[in-house]
Each structure stands twice: as C-alpha cells, then as structure tokens.
A and B are shown apart, each in its own frame.
Chain A
C-alpha cells in the first residue's frame, strides 16, 4: 500500500504514483543497457544468422510495457478506474501477442482468436459501465430538475405571498386607519358648526378602528398563525378543525415538533384542504389523520362529500403543493366522482425534542 502515494484528488490529471514512475524509469534504463549489450555482442560476433537478441528485447520489454499499461490504467478517477485497467491490460496483451506473431515470422493469423477473446469481455464491460453511469447520471439530472423547479416554485410562492400581504394591508387595515383619521378630522372640523353630527362620526370611527384590528388579525393568521407558534402543528390543526363548519375527527399524534417552515407549510395545506371541504365538497363530516414514522410526516385529510375534486380547478391546492415540494414533500389527491375525497401529504423531516 505504501508503494505508491494515492493522488490528492481523484481524477486529477497530474502525475500520480511517483515511486512507480521512478521504478519504471529504472527498469527502462536497465533493459536498454542489457539489450544494448547483447545486441552489441551479437554484432561483434559477426552479426550473422538469426537476429536472436530480438527475443531478449522482447523479454525485457514485456514487464516494462505491462507496468506502464497498468499505471496508465490507474490514472482515471475511481469511478472509471476498473474499466481503464481492463482496457489497458487487454491492449497490452494484444500488443504482446502481435509482437510474438511478428517475431515468429508472421505465420498464419492465429492472434485473431486471442485478441477477439480479449475484445469481447472488454466490450461487454464498456456496455455495462455505460449503462450504470448513465442511470446514475439520469438520477442526478432528475434531482437537479426537481430542485430547480421547486426552488423557483418556492420563490414564486414567496413573492406572491408578499404581494398579497402588501395588498391586504393597503386595502385593509391601512385604508381603514385613513378612514378613521378622516372621520375624526371631520368631527374635529364640525365641532363648532355642526356638533349634532359628532356622535355618529365618532361611532363610525370606533367601528372602523375595530375593523382595522380585525383585518390585522386575519392577516397575521395568514402569515404565521399564533396558535401554530404556541401549540405546534398538532394543536394548530386541532384549532383549525374546531373552526370548521362540519365536524372533524382527529386521529394520530406527533411525538415532537417538525421544523418551523415544514409546520407552516403543512398547516396551510391542511387549512386549504378544510376550506375546500367546506366550500366544494358538500360533506357532512371530515377527518384528519396525523402521524410520523421513518423520517416521514404524513397527514391525511378526508371527507364524505361528493368528490370530483381536481388539483387545478380552483382548489388552491396547487399553491400549497408547490410549497410542500420545496421540502421534498408530496401531495396526493384521490377524489372519485361521488366521493369520498382524500388528500394525503407526506414531508420528509426530522422532529425536534418530544413534547414535555
């Protein structure tokens, strides 16, 4: 193992295995010296007859050739190393066979068979390796696609959400406060001239101020429901269930609290589902099941209504689905005509410390 140093970075096209390289250089020098000496001896003894040093050169070249091939085969990154080694050794063997064939006087065409014997498994190896790597690459490409889409979805949802909040504030609480100020200003200006109008104006100002407060509360519930912060997902969903016009049966429980963004996404998805139950399903009862297992938070909302719900058809589910997607969550809707409708959402997440 210590015969060579592992390259610092796999696949780095530098000069790995420095000790092997030194050994190879030494071997090359030794071989050239030995072969050269023998060739010189053959020449000095008259250089007649068969050029027998060719076989010596061949014998000296084989180990150098193979070592070089193996080193070349070890260069590529780990993922392709086995294949490269196979390629280089097969190639080196074929070249060696061809050399023997040539030295032997090119009799017949016997090397075709062993070379074919080497080529077939190599081709098979290439085919297998390509299949495997492309499956892996496809997997990664799909993941990148999903991440790109869900990230864009999350940003779109966030921007739309901010715009909605701004609009709600502008048309709601802010406008009402302007109106309150207007009524009070008018009352002030009429103080001396038409005091009889004051009580009406003041009552109106007060009720508009209360309406502004109401607007703010509704808006806050839409951003981060206080009950979600106080009681966690389970409590908040119970609170939601109580507010719905149809009776809702709750089952299951959570052994801890999911991360805040997941809680919020799931909460709003459940809220959307319940809103759909009331608005579209005509159901007389609904149920919610909440559980956690094997790193997966799953919530199911069902009703006994008329069914026939489709994700795109104004159910508002598309938005919450996109929100779930950014946590790698999924939402499944089954709603045959005639009912019942069941929405299942699953989000992979960790739960923080159990409730105390």
Chain B
C-alpha cells in the first residue's frame, strides 16, 4: 500500500514512516509542507492514502486541513487521514463536508496504539471513515446537553455508547469486549440503532460510522457552530 506522509516536524514524520514501514506499508513520500505534498501527489501516483498533520507551514494554523480539502477536490475520493495534536469538531465537519468516504481524523496520540492505528490507515485507504473517539464523545455529549431532539435523541444510553464505539471504527467483537456484553447483544443494539436512525441494514462497517456522520453533516448544514 502506497502512503504519502505530510508532517512538518521531522521527529514525528520519521517516527510515522518507520512505524508504517515496520507494518509493511510502502511510504512513497515524506513531505513537510502543502506545496511539497501537492507535488508528491502528482509524482507518486497511484497514492493509496495520505497521512497528514493539520498544522503545517507557513502559518502553522490549519494549512494541513486546507491542503487535505484541496487534495480531495483535485482528486475526488483520495483517502486522507488527518492527524492532529488536538481535535476540533469544527475541523471534522469541514473535512467531511464534501463526503465521508476515505476520510479519517485522529488525535496523534492514537498512533501509539500501533495495531489500531495501522488498521485505521487501512480502513481509510479502503474508503472507510475513521473519527477520533474524542470527536465522537464531544458530539454525543453535546447532543445529550442540547436535549433529545433529532434522530440521535431516540437512542437509549446503551445504544449511544455502542454508537460511540462504532464511530471510532471498532469492530463488533471489540465493542462486545469493551462493553462486557456478548456479540449477539451488540448485534441487537446495532440493528436497533439503524432502525431508529432510518439507516438500511448493511454489513459494511462504514455504514455504521455514517450514523454519526449523518448527524454531523445535518448540524453543519443547519449552521450550528462546533462547540465542545
């Protein structure tokens, strides 16, 4: 799998590259700013996934985010996994406003759980969606605070918990393990969630993240400011 890494801090760029190579990824380019990234995306095709930092030169604010959105505009469907030392719901919304396929947004800390991280990279590359647990948590608790209007309000506490884990990209087995319930019970919760959210039953894991993203995008179009 061909990966491009865009990260301005050499320490983290090298670390990421080594980590991915150790897990049989082919790192085809390691770049430090948006211009180099644009060049690498032209020269190194085909690129299976781009892993990039939110903060990049020249202003070190959200050039990475802008670059990710631009790269996806130039090459629709280009899988992009955005990493950051802090996560903002607002950034997640901006990143996903043009579609959620092949998009990931994770706190850099998650890289340390190497196997989960590597799995997340693979899922994004395959067109899946990965959202950081912190964003998901903020989303759900914000929803809890704002009341029970909307489709998410119909979920029970248990179902919201399951959905939070789903949105993080966990498998059924992982959800079952972390909630100390059986796989069968997880299935039951998930079916109930899909029914309540009017989502078609589907075996695709990605479908499940869409449950959260549907809400995310609804809020975006309704113009709610991202609040945590």
Is the CB–CB distance between A175 and B111 below 8 Å?
Answer: no
CA distance in complex: A174, B12 (Å): 11
Smallest Cβ distance from B4 to chain A, in angstroms? Answer: 18
Q: Which residue of B lies closest to A189 (CB)?
A: B114
- Chain B residues whose C-beta falls within 8 Å of the C-beta of A174 in the assembled complex: 85
User: How far, in whole Å, are A174 and B109 apart by their CA atoms in the complex?
Assistant: 10
Count the B residues whose beta carbon is within 8 Å of the partner chain — how many?
Answer: 21
Report the interface size for chain A: residues with CB under 8 A from the other chain.
20
Instruction: Judge whether A175 and B11 touch: CB under 8 Å.
Output: yes
Instruction: Select one of A167, A170, A183 contacting B15, CB under 8 A.
Output: A183
Q: Does A184 contact B (CB under 8 A)?
A: yes
Whether B112 sits at the interface, judged by CB under 8 Å, is yes
Pick from B16, B22, B118: contact of A190, CB under 8 Å: B22
- Counted as pairs of residues, one from A and one from B, with CB atoms less than 8 Å apart, the total is 53
DSSP majority for the B interface?
helix
Q: Mark A163-179, 1 if CB is under 8 A from B, else 0.
A: 00001001100111011
Interface residues of A (CB under 8 A from B): 167, 170-171, 174-176, 178-179, 181-186, 188-190, 194, 197, 208
B115: CB under 8 A from chain A? yes
- The answer, among A175, A184, A186, A208, for a CB contact under 8 Å with B22, is A186
Q: Is the CB of A186 within 8 A of B85?
A: no
Cβ contact of A185, chosen from B11, B55, B60, B111, cutoff 8 A: B111
Bound-state Cα–Cα, A185 to B18, Å:
12
Contacts of B108 in A (CB 8 A): 178
- Docked CA distance A182–B21 (Å): 13
Check: B90 CB closer than 8 A to any chain A CB: no
Query: A182 — nearest CB in chain B belongs to which residue?
Result: B15
Chain B contacts of A185 at CB under 8 A? 19, 111-114, 117
In the assembled complex, B23 has its CB within 8 A of some CB on chain A: yes
Contact of B115 with A189 in the complex, beta carbons under 8 Å: yes
Assess the B114–A188 pair: CB atoms within 8 A.
Answer: yes
Interface members, chain B 113-164 (any A CB < 8 Å): 113-115, 117-118
Over the window 43-87 of chain B, the binary record of Cβ atoms lying under 8 Å from chain A Cβ atoms (1 yes, 0 no) is 000000000000100001000000000000000000000000100
B174 at the interface (CB under 8 A from A): no
16 contacts between A and B (CB under 8 A): A170-B55, A175-B12, A178-B12, A178-B85, A178-B109, A179-B12, A181-B112, A182-B12, A183-B15, A185-B19, A185-B114, A185-B117, A186-B114, A189-B115, A189-B118, A194-B22
The minimal Cβ–Cβ distance linking B23 to chain A, given in whole angstroms, is 7
Is the pair B19, A186 in contact by a Cβ cutoff of 8 Å? yes
- A182 lies within 8 A of B16 (CB): yes
**A181 to B108 alpha-carbon distance, docked (Å):** 10
B9 interfacial by beta-carbon distance below 8 Å: yes
Measured CA separation A174–B85 after assembly (Å)? 8
Q: How far is the CB of B195 from the nearest CB of chain A, in Å? A: 38
User: With A175-B12, A175-B85 in contact, is A181–B109 under 8 Å at CB?
Assistant: yes
| A94–B9 CA distance with the chains assembled, in angstroms | 88
B60 / chain A contacts, CB cutoff of 8 Å: 167
Specify which of A176, A184, A186, A190 lies most central, judged by the most chain B CB atoms within 10 Å of its CB.
A186
Most chain A Cβ neighbours within 10 Å, of B11, B109, B118: B11
Min CB gap A81→B, angstroms: 59
Measured CB to CB, the nearest residue on chain B to A178 is B108
Alpha-carbon distance between A339 and B176 when the two chains are bound, in angstroms = 76
**Chain A neighbourhood of B23, CB < 8 A:** 189
A202 smallest CB distance to B (angstroms): 14
| Cβ 8 A contact of B11, one of A176, A184, A189, A197 | A176
Q: A185-B111, A189-B115 are in contact. Are A179 and B11 (CB under 8 A)?
A: yes
Query: Measured between alpha carbons, how far is A179 from B11 in the docked complex, in Å?
Result: 7
